[in-house]
Structure 1
Amino acid sequence: MLALKAENISKQYRLGQVGTGTLTHDLNRFWHRMRGKEDPYLKIGETNDRSSKGSSEYVWSLRDINFEIEQGDAVGIIGRNGAGKSTLLKLLSKVTKPTTGKIYTNGRIASLLEVGTGFHPEMTGRENIYLNGAILGMTKKEIKRKFDEIVDFSGVERYIDTPVKRYSSGMYVRLAFAVAAHLESEILIVDEVLAVGDAEFQKKCLGKMGDVTKGEGRTILFVSHNMAAVKSLCNKGILLQNGKLLFNGGVNDCLDKYLVSSIDYTKSKVSDITDRTGSQQVTFSDVYIEDQNGYTINSIFTGQNLKLVIILNCVSDTENVDIGISFHDKFDDTLSYIYSGFQNHYYHLKKGENKIVLLLENFSIFSSLLKIRGRILVGTVESDWPQQALLEIKIEQGDFFNTGKTIEIEAPFLIKGNWS
């Protein structure tokens, strides 16, 4: 059975104004509606691209979105900032109405879109549990039955009779999530509010959401920039880009598509690095990373098979070229390095441009930001040593052990062993 269905939904906003626009525009809409014609302003407007200046005063935050979500699915909604994720959740939560299209729901919806939504700052935590629960559709009897469980989960028992205006943002979101998570709804919608909580509470929330989908068979829509959390919690994925639906399907395929299609990616400007040492007989011209399918990516998972593509430029035909690559964390501390000469692999390069590929199987380094540096030797003579990173790339926790789940580890390396 379907839990949610979105049918050609779009959302249009007018920039710089409250509401839909001027009185003239509203009268024009009314006149068209009286004559049985469509809204004239639906034909105008630009794509939702926050990084560029537009010429239209109308913008489409979402445009022609279609998808179906089955009961019991855990769906991760991903995309860059400004892609339309939060707008989509507000439409599905019925906080706002779509400009065009229809949304069909089957069951009660609980949503947690912003920290402390529905909380009154002058009221205590206890009073706000009853208030927030009532706003979310819980009966007083239902709240009373779950009250102790909600307080225990939130971890703010000591302050439960203190006005919430004295709570920290972390305590706010703890209490708000605890109420929403314990509502007996068929659909739970959660925005990126979990980022406010500490690591221990985030883990607790993800565990609770996992129990909700797998144990109780409820549907979850989860927006997050934590790809590891999306991968471990969700079985389906929706990818948005500039207000349009780019992909809807399995979570692994969705994450792969997100990494490939990220428009933040630009090839490293290695050729622009001027601070170099060496003879410059052979130099780095470009460096980038491809996945095993040959797509250029700007973010990788631990356990992924990667190709480090190195473009070299030679002044003339050169023999005995030894290529070194080193890996560093965000603080520039060395994690590891490798030279082709370690494996007795010395290159004979032709004059001009040469392409070298280093295959990195089951990538085991984990660092939130990985810096890749390089060095070239011709024989024992240094040819090129750029004094800054050739490439910087994000690393996400992935399914390194092929068990269907990610492993949280506070170390720069993962080790795979054979147990007996």
Structure 2
Amino acid sequence: MNPSKPHREISIRVENLGKRYQIGQGAQPAYHTLRDQISTLVTQPLRWMGIRAKEDLAPRYDENEFRIWALRGVSFEVRQGEVIGIVGRNGAGKSTLLKILTRITIPTEGSVDLWGRVGSLLEVGTGFHKELTGRENVYLNGAILGMKKGEIARKFDEIVTFAEVERFIDTPVKYYSSGMAMRLAFAVAAHLEPEILLVDEVLAVGDAAFQKKCLDKMEEVGRAGRTILFVSHHMPAIVRLCERAIWLQDGQIYREGPAYQIVSEYLSESLGTTPIREWPDLMSAPGDEVVRLQAIRIRNAQGEITDTFDIREPVGIEMEYVVLKGGYALHAGFSLHNDEGQWLFASLDTDMEWDAKPRQPGRYRSLAWIPGNFLAEGTMMVGPSIRTEDPEILHLYEPETVAFQVTERPGLGPSSRMGFVGHFPGVVRPFLKWETHLLDPNPWNGRPGLRVENLP
């Protein structure tokens, strides 16, 4: 810890951080038994005399072969009041990073400086003593954070109400379900006013209502000017809550930048998606002797090829194809699936200029627009097709050929979320037109004895 705070109001500074673990035969035991201690006492004099014990004759292993770097060369700064998301695949080093920041794990190399009281929620019931009651654990955690008893008491009722454990607050925590322990642990971490809040996968446990409460509370903590590091696999929550994101890969910082941008790049690279596919050689292109597909591209409203769209933006699906044999009334089209394999919809060319008209040979381009505020967040897979309706002939269909990401960036105007933070269900999310009118400001007028306070 540096004794003086830096000029630029930094809350967290990480410099060249690394954590190395021993695995396999090279790993050191977590603890030593009495038998181990006796064995050491017996063999040490023999080694001093030049006599090797039986185990000394075993083949030697290079301990470097059994070392793994969970983190290596990680450096970043977080300013006071920033909300930072940490993304990456399992094993990327996300949880190790938070454990070092909370001093649960000692780094192998590098340094960490923190300015401010740190609250953390790394797993279910972190920091709880199983034999103590919920009430006792609240006061214990507050004391660990350096709070006075009066400060904890002022927050106590709010914590218990948020966690919804009023009936069990004087029950030992060892009898709590995982959901109860998570609710109380999050309530303690978020309500005891730490300057720095570290949260790892808070959405992994609990129902949808509790997840929404957690996200709402984290937004409130962020607005209060406190610093948050949020690890999650729930990408909409990262985009919603975080200004900036850090992408960890193989224990190193792979990319960092605006949260919506990092999330889009992470999803695209993780799923191997691409917004363009082209077949320069017609002989190997999808199709038959009538028509061949030469390209399919995903474009935005500016005409740029991209795989990242805000939920409010229109998405253009462009197909380029070559008609080899005339006389067929062709319809270009596509199917759209999400990353869960659900078929969202299919669309065929609705340009009436070509409806039921045989095509002459040549190169064609068809472009369809999916309107903004229609698709939900997620990954969308596009499968192009070309068919003849009469007679019915499917000339080509290439499922999941290209793909794009839909995310929802905060601050870009209204959407159907309207401030809702948790998981928003449904495969589409249209922004429908609503109207609300005040019909009667005093509906109980003229009805004796009916008052608001008397309603059930």
TM-score with structure 2 setting the length: 0.69
Task: State the secondary structure of the residue aligned to 1:228.
Answer: helix
**Offset of 1:157 from its aligned partner?**
0.8
Q: CA RMSD in A?
A: 4.1
Aligned to 1:323: 332
**What per-residue deviation string (whole Å, max 9, x for no partner) do you get for residues 273-300 of structure 1?**
xxxxx97744668867566786664x86
**Offset of 1:247 from its aligned partner?**
2.5
**Match for residue 376 of structure 1 among 371, 386, 400:** 386
Shift of the 151–393 alpha-carbon distance from structure 1 to 2, 3 Å rule, reads farther
1:243 corresponds to 2:251: yes
Shift of the 334–213 alpha-carbon distance from structure 1 to 2, 3 Å rule, reads closer
**Offset of 1:387 from its aligned partner?**
8.4
Is 1:109–1:185's contact at 8 Å kept on the other side of the alignment? yes
Aligned to 1:265: 272
**Offset of 1:189 from its aligned partner?**
0.6
Task: State the secondary structure of the residue aligned to 2:24.
Answer: coil
Is 2:131–2:172's contact at 8 Å kept on the other side of the alignment? yes
Shift of the 328–405 alpha-carbon distance from structure 1 to 2, 3 Å rule, reads closer
1:67 corresponds to 2:76: yes
Which protein has the bigger strand share? 1
Q: Distance in 1 between matches of 2:228 and 2:416?
A: 19
**What per-residue deviation string (whole Å, max 9, x for no partner) do you get for residues 208-260 of structure 1?**
1111121x211111111222212221222212222221223332333343244
Aligned to 1:131: 140
Mapping 1:174-323, distance limit 5 Å: 174-214=183-223, 216-260=224-268, 262-265=269-272, 281-282=290-291, 297=307, 301-308=310-317, 310=319, 320-323=329-332
Task: State the secondary structure of the residue aligned to 2:271.
Answer: coil
Is 2:381–2:403's contact at 8 Å kept on the other side of the alignment? yes
**What per-residue deviation string (whole Å, max 9, x for no partner) do you get for residues 350-371 of structure 1?**
59xx986655452612276656
**Match for residue 415 of structure 1 among 420, 431, 440:** 431
**What per-residue deviation string (whole Å, max 9, x for no partner) do you get for residues 286-323 of structure 1?**
867566786664x8652344444657687767864311
Tell me, which stretches of 5 or more residues in structure 1 are unaligned? 23-43, 46-55, 272-277
Shift of the 288–110 alpha-carbon distance from structure 1 to 2, 3 Å rule, reads farther
Aligned residues: 378
Aligned to 2:408: 398
Is 2:311–2:374's contact at 8 Å kept on the other side of the alignment? yes
TM-score with structure 1 setting the length: 0.74
Is 1:329–1:367's contact at 8 Å kept on the other side of the alignment? no
Give the counterpart letter for 2:272 in structure 1: Y
Aligned to 2:94: 85
Aligned to 1:114: 123
Task: State the secondary structure of the residue aligned to 2:126.
Answer: coil
Is 1:319–1:349's contact at 8 Å kept on the other side of the alignment? no
Give the counterpart letter for 2:69 in structure 1: W
Is 2:15–2:110's contact at 8 Å kept on the other side of the alignment? yes
Shift of the 59–141 alpha-carbon distance from structure 1 to 2, 3 Å rule, reads same
Aligned to 1:38: none
**Offset of 1:70 from its aligned partner?**
0.7
Mapping 1:145-160, distance limit 5 Å: 145-160=154-169
Mapping 1:351-366, distance limit 5 Å: 358-362=368-372, 364-366=374-376
Is 1:324–1:376's contact at 8 Å kept on the other side of the alignment? yes
Aligned to 2:454: none
1:57 corresponds to 2:66: yes
Shift of the 185–64 alpha-carbon distance from structure 1 to 2, 3 Å rule, reads same
Task: State the secondary structure of the residue aligned to 1:176.
Answer: helix
Is 2:273–2:403's contact at 8 Å kept on the other side of the alignment? no
Stretch moving more, 88-97 or 216-225:
88-97
Shift of the 139–19 alpha-carbon distance from structure 1 to 2, 3 Å rule, reads farther
Shift of the 225–332 alpha-carbon distance from structure 1 to 2, 3 Å rule, reads closer
